[in-house]
Structure 1
Amino acid sequence: MKVTGVLQQRAWATRELPPVEQVRPGLWSVPVPIPDNPLRYTLVYAVRLARGLALVDAGWAAETSWRSLTDGLAGIGYAVTDVRFVLVTHAHMDHLGLAARIREVSGAAVGMHPAEAATLTLPPGRAESVVGWLTRRGASRADAAEQIERMAGWRAAFEALARPDLLVEHGDRPLPAPAAIRAVWTPGHTPGHLCFVDEERDVMFTGDHVLPRISPNISVPPGGAGDPLGDFLSSLSTVDHAEPGEVLPAHEYRFTGLAARREALLAHHRTRLAEAEAAVRADPGASTWAVAATLSWSRPWSALGPVLRQFAVGETYAHLLHLAALGRVVNQDGPRDAWSAVHGVSTVA
């Protein structure tokens, strides 16, 4: 893998906002800050159309983010009123947040995958369901109840997110000719995550699916189901069919060598699966929470606050569910998770 966004990498290392850059003729990266977040910024990409612009992602809904977006577009000779489309890789706040405001100002159509649109239906009693979900994973009532306060203002922000005007399926070309941008469905990080291939400029917009340095969070959210890690691993194969001239992620910096980065991500998850399976074998009947507390994180488990612990438990649960799908572990029925290894099955290679 080779870093091509050198200025972006330098800004990442110094914890600054990178500059607006022309990536190709008619294609620019516009960094939009994420307030009080270790990811720091979302790289919004502006694509010139025959008339106006299309954006890939929109950025976080905050005034400082809005100013950075509008100033960045002005610096390349455009205004928000010139935006005709917002193609959303996925419906997280740092990607979808400003889409509603952009649409209000410009009339732009917001596009996303149908599976992603389905995640924007908020069930009643969401905060209480998070507490129930965490206690089933093995959290104490006190640990789980910390989430209620955190989610107090979350509903309003969620309900303000833009719902799609345009549903984008795998293989669709959602922009008008002569734009040559094709959607690639890459579920895992979210159910409807999309990457976009610009065939004319030989680049791939990878959203959070493939980042140059960190592994995207693959977790099972409260109320979620299925095998999102299995989906993610399969999706890595989906993007391996072609080697774009440059990879344009939503965070950190641009790079080349998609195949090498894909192999590194696969290796990371093989290691994590083996670690999770070893934890279950060492402590039969352990809850997901207990397994998560033993795994290697970027900081000690005791230093993780409520938000990061919920993410960690969700990611651990995704790995355990994938191990269960592989027939390596089993979760006993009951009010709380109780994981046991399947005897006679070797650990993950």
Structure 2
Amino acid sequence: MAADSVSRIDVGGDGPEGGNSAYLVADRVVVDPGPPTDRAWRELQAGLERAGVAPVALEYVLVTHWHADHAGLAPRLAEVADATLAMGAGDAPLVADYARERERRLERDAAVMRRCGVPTAAVDSVIEGDSISPIPDETPVERLADGDRIAGLEVVATPGHTLGHTAFAGDDFLLVGDAVLSTITPNVGGSDTRTLRNDGRESEAASATDTTESGVERDPLGAFRATLERLADRPERLLPGHGAAIERGRIAEILDHHRERSQRVLAALEGDEPTTAAKTPWAVARELFGDLEGIHVKFGAGEAAAHLQALEGEGLVERVADDPVRYDVVR
């Protein structure tokens, strides 16, 4: 399936990463239809009309990951088109069983933030600010695994940003979702708290979806680095979930960015005397990013935790406490 079989539809979005990119492939597949808003729905319909494709002609709706700005319109489009909705197995439950999994996610998010040392008031603010998306409580979703083929596309597991993040490859293009973005570095750790090692401190309900069924170790930064290295070895043109095509050098830039961030995390621990150096991920996040509010509390704490877990795996830092978790450099 060649590049002339894929076209981008801008479905809105005003964030720093640019507009959401839905992709029409071979006039029968839409990948990442966009956020669950009326504006995005109108823009998606207009894009399909420009391409001369009626929604009822679609056979598949594919989604790279569970975040609402990518998956939000998927159930609606699949229902209108009577199409198969499919996505990576690791992320599928959060769309297939949205209502129940949202409650579990909020409980898990709160537990992870508390363990990272985030103050109670900030945790409560994040949870209370998490609005319900207009997504059906339950939706049929086909679960995909690495190496599967669907609608002429190869399924490529790309975990890190989320547990079950998945790319879709044609002959000379690769739809990479949020695995590679041109203007920002995708968040790891906070954007999907299932990826972090939580050591059984969530409730049973919260732990129910904390699974490694996709084969991902709970080391989001390690998984993300492996994803980037895998993508760097592939020849296809990279088409992201936000904005237009990406130059391949962007992968090296993101890897360099995370190497530099890990050094900053180490510096945050090494800056104090040995008796006082141990810090929570939240304390490290505040040093890295300054004041954090809203969803950035979870993103910042999660990213700091991801780097600390990776550094622990490299033998450079060690956990010295667990409630909340604290790290110190290995001396």
**TM-score when normalising by structure 1:** 0.80
1:1-349 → structure 2 map (5 Å cutoff): 24-34=3-13, 37-48=15-26, 52-120=27-95, 122=101, 124=103, 126-151=105-130, 153-154=131-132, 157=134, 160=137, 162-164=139-141, 166-175=142-151, 179=152, 181-199=153-171, 202-220=172-190, 221-222=192-193, 224-225=196-197, 226-244=218-236, 246-256=237-247, 258=248, 260-283=249-272, 284-295=277-288, 297=289, 301-302=290-291, 304-343=292-331
Q: Deviations over 1:126-182 (max 9, x none)?
A: 54553343222112222222123212x33x646647451x2221111111xxx3x21
Closer, same or farther: CA 273–119 of 1 in aligned 2, 3 Å: farther
Once the 2 structures are TM-superposed, how far is the Cα of residue 110 of structure 1 from its aligned partner? 0.9
SS at match of 1:77: coil
Give the distance between the partners of 1:280 and 1:92, measured in 2 at CA: 32
Give the distance between the partners of 1:190 and 1:143, measured in 2 at CA: 23
Once the 2 structures are TM-superposed, how far is the Cα of residue 222 of structure 1 from its aligned partner? 4.1
* Residue of structure 1 in register with 2:203 after alignment: none
Identical pairs, percent: 31
Q: Deviations over 1:81-130 (max 9, x none)?
A: 12110111111111110011011111110111111224556275654553
Give the distance between the partners of 1:207 and 1:147, measured in 2 at CA: 25
Once the 2 structures are TM-superposed, how far is the Cα of residue 196 of structure 1 from its aligned partner? 1.6
Closer, same or farther: CA 172–240 of 1 in aligned 2, 3 Å: same
Give the distance between the partners of 2:183 and 2:254, measured in 1 at CA: 10
Closer, same or farther: CA 24–128 of 1 in aligned 2, 3 Å: closer
Give the distance between the partners of 2:114 and 2:321, measured in 1 at CA: 14
* Bigger RCO of structures 1 and 2 (CA < 8 A, at least 6 apart): 2
Closer, same or farther: CA 133–242 of 1 in aligned 2, 3 Å: closer
SS at match of 1:33: coil
Closer, same or farther: CA 29–146 of 1 in aligned 2, 3 Å: same
Whether contact under 8 Å (1:113, 1:169) holds in the other structure is yes
Give the distance between the partners of 1:231 and 1:182, measured in 2 at CA: 20
Give the distance between the partners of 1:239 and 1:126, measured in 2 at CA: 29
Q: Deviations over 1:33-90 (max 9, x none)?
A: 13x6444521111012xxx510111100000010000011101111211211011111
**Structure 2: any 5+ residue segments left out of the alignment?**
198-217
Give the distance between the partners of 2:41 and 2:103, measured in 1 at CA: 30
RMSD across aligned positions (CA): 2.2
Give the distance between the partners of 2:140 and 2:68, measured in 1 at CA: 13
Give the distance between the partners of 1:163 and 1:192, measured in 2 at CA: 17
Whether contact under 8 Å (1:29, 1:44) holds in the other structure is yes
Closer, same or farther: CA 157–319 of 1 in aligned 2, 3 Å: farther
SS at match of 2:284: helix
Closer, same or farther: CA 57–125 of 1 in aligned 2, 3 Å: closer
Whether contact under 8 Å (2:62, 2:87) holds in the other structure is yes
Letter in 1 for 2:189: S
Whether contact under 8 Å (2:126, 2:294) holds in the other structure is yes
**TM-score when normalising by structure 2:** 0.84
Letter in 2 for 1:139: V
* Residue of structure 1 in register with 2:213 after alignment: none
Give the distance between the partners of 1:183 and 1:127, measured in 2 at CA: 29
Closer, same or farther: CA 158–308 of 1 in aligned 2, 3 Å: farther
- Mean CA deviation greater in 227-236 or 217-226: 217-226
